[in-house]
Chains A and B, each alone.
Chain A
Amino acid sequence: MRFVRHPVVQYLAVAVVLFVALSVATSILSARVAATEARADARAVTVVLARSVAQPAIPKGLVDGNAGAIDKLDRQVLERLLVGDVRRVKIWRQDGTILYSDETRLIGAQYALDEEETEVLENGGTEAEVSDLSEPENRYETADAGLVEVYTRIRSPEGEPMLFEVYFSAEDLAERRAAVLAPFQRITIGGLLAMLVVATPIIWVLTRRLTRNARERERLLRASMTASEAERRRIARDLHDGVVQDLAGTAFSLTAVSRDDQVPSEVRDDLQRAGASLRTSLKALRSLLVSIHPPDLHADGLTAALTDLTAPAAAAHIESTVRVSDVGEVPDGTVALVWRVAQEAVRNAIRHAHADTLDVEVHRTDGHLVLVVTDDGDGFDPQADRDADSFGLRGLGSLVRDEGGRLDVRSTPGEGTEVRMEVKVP
């Protein structure tokens, strides 16, 4: 699957499809052009034979079926008519009598002319059509691939119109068509292949460069996250060991003093309020410390940690729920990863989603620990360009992949967001 996603493979797949499509299209178009060209050649040959060879050599009397005239024409022009791809020659009289043919058994026979032939006899021009070999006039033809007949009008010395008909082998025309087609195919297919050959290494080099850059960026991102985490851990530890302890001590002292009977009651009330305020601030500070850096997490404490994570949702008027099924034995590293992904997803939901509900669920299924964070907020288009904030989940996705898991973000504008992480657990 990863192989299929490789840009070079995708490029090659698209290129091959395009190559085949273009090859087929150009072949069809070229074949049409070549067929037209071959037929035009046949017409041109027929016209040249009619005007330059046959008509000047037609003796008087041929139009009357005079045997001597037939002999003269046969001796004078037969060799000059049966040239190149010409397979048969016939000269017709208007009444359908074959006055001359190189197939002498046809001479004198009479067949009905079709509409096109009559049209050419009456009005001139040149026509071409595939021969119907079942017609009696074609009974001596044996061409397997069929014949193409081209006919034009000539005149006898007496001025009578006659139909000069030349038969070409369809096989010969196909060969001629192939000869015309071959250069087209060489140009189009060769050009496409050359482009493919040139472009593939370029794409490959660019892809490698992009992949290297992406890896470097990920590495920097992870280094930055690690550094940030280390810094947060230090800050959290300093706050916990310093300010938090001091504040806790002060709150404890204030409470103790407020209970001293020797202190005036109005002062005791003030001291109690100050102590309560201090404890509230202490609680907020501890919550902040949890969000800055999680405590040493174990599977048993995951529910509490996630609940702490979603605590700020109430201030944003978001109803949050946390559900953790019996996940069993899970490595601490995996629990930490779940916590970090949940932290990022919850933070995004609270900051950007404008959601009414937020649901965090962790369960174990088929050897995988699954985290699903769902909100019913604004949603977004996952394919669209994202701002810098999105690097958080993207960077976490990299971490998840490193752990052999996968992270999917499914969202649609107006229909909320679901962040789903699956990590294999022993």
Chain B
Amino acid sequence: MRGRVTRLVLGTVAALLVAGLPSSVSASDDDEVRKGGSCSGGADWEMRARWDDDNRIEVRGEVDHTTSGRAWSWKIKHNGSVSAQGRAVARGGDFEVRRSLVDLAGTDHCVFRAVKVRTGEVCRGAIDW
């Protein structure tokens, strides 16, 4: 019980730290915006956004350097509401999810968030499109 509480506190602190940390990598060109950083554990995250063929925003969230076979729950939020969510299992040390978001008027705030189910490790990235 104490261990679980400890993990929860550590996870929350780590998530807050991750959320507060600036991205370690940020790149963009006319077609794509790319950001990346470290998760609260040992994994890295990467997030990309670009136009797809249907004039939608294709958002790609990726977690690298993690333990294979471990389950992650993930969410993509669009302007604060959940656009897509699910579970994924890392294969070969990483996993990736892609979803199309509708380009709405004004700035579209897109967030990718993944939580490792077993450890509570949090990966979070955001792109304003």
Of the stretches B21-29, B64-72, B98-106, B119-127, the one at the interface is B98-106
The verdict on A108 contacting chain B, using a C-beta distance below 8 Å, is yes
Interface residues on A, range: 10 to 19
Q: Which residues on the A side are within 8 Å of B84 (C-beta)?
A: 68, 71-72, 75
Given contact pairs A71-B78, A71-B99, A75-B100, A107 touches B83 in the complex (Cβ within 8 A): no
The verdict on A201 contacting chain B, using a C-beta distance below 8 Å, is no
Contact yes or no, B104 A67, CB < 8 A: yes
29 interchain pairs (CB within 8 A)?
A66-B81, A67-B79, A67-B80, A67-B83, A67-B101, A67-B104, A67-B108, A68-B78, A68-B79, A68-B84, A70-B104, A71-B83, A71-B84, A72-B83, A72-B84, A74-B56, A74-B102, A75-B84, A75-B100, A104-B55, A104-B56, A104-B102, A104-B103, A104-B104, A105-B105, A107-B102, A107-B104, A107-B105, A108-B104
Interface bits A98-127 vs B (CB < 8 Å: 1, else 0): 000000110111000000000000000000
Q: Which residues on the A side are within 8 Å of B77 (C-beta)?
A: 68
The verdict on A69 contacting chain B, using a C-beta distance below 8 Å, is yes
Give the A-binding residues of B (Cβ under 8 A). 54-56, 77-84, 99-105, 108
Contact yes or no, B105 A108, CB < 8 A: yes
Contact yes or no, A67 B103, CB < 8 A: no
Q: How far is the CA of A74 from the CA of B108 in the complex (A)?
A: 16
- A61, A71, A109: the one contacting B102 at CB < 8 Å is A71
Give the B-binding residues of A (Cβ under 8 A). 61, 66-72, 74-75, 78, 104-105, 107-109
Q: How far is the CA of A108 from the CA of B106 in the complex (A)?
A: 10
Given contact pairs A74-B56, A107-B105, A108-B105, A67 touches B81 in the complex (Cβ within 8 A): yes
Please give 16 more A-B residue pairs, beta carbons under 8 A apart, in addition to A68-B77, A71-B100, A107-B104: A67-B78, A67-B83, A67-B101, A67-B102, A68-B78, A70-B78, A71-B78, A71-B84, A71-B102, A74-B56, A75-B99, A75-B100, A104-B102, A104-B103, A104-B104, A105-B105
Contact yes or no, B81 A61, CB < 8 A: yes
Number of A-B contacts (CB under 8 A): 50
Contact yes or no, A69 B81, CB < 8 A: yes
Contact yes or no, A70 B105, CB < 8 A: no
Q: Which residues on the A side are within 8 Å of B104 (C-beta)?
A: 67, 70, 104, 107-108
CB distance from A381 to the nearest CB of B (A): 84
Q: How far is the CA of A194 from the CA of B102 in the complex (A)?
A: 60
Residue of A nearest to B81 (CB): A68
Residue of A nearest to B59 (CB): A71
Residue of B nearest to A71 (CB): B83
Q: How far is the CA of A61 from the CA of B83 in the complex (A)?
A: 11
Q: Which residues on the A side are within 8 Å of B101 (C-beta)?
A: 67, 71
Q: Which residues on the A side are within 8 Å of B81 (C-beta)?
A: 61, 66-69
Residue of B nearest to A106 (CB): B105
Q: Which residues on the B side are within 8 Å of A74 (C-beta)?
A: 56, 100, 102
CB distance from B103 to the nearest CB of A (A): 5
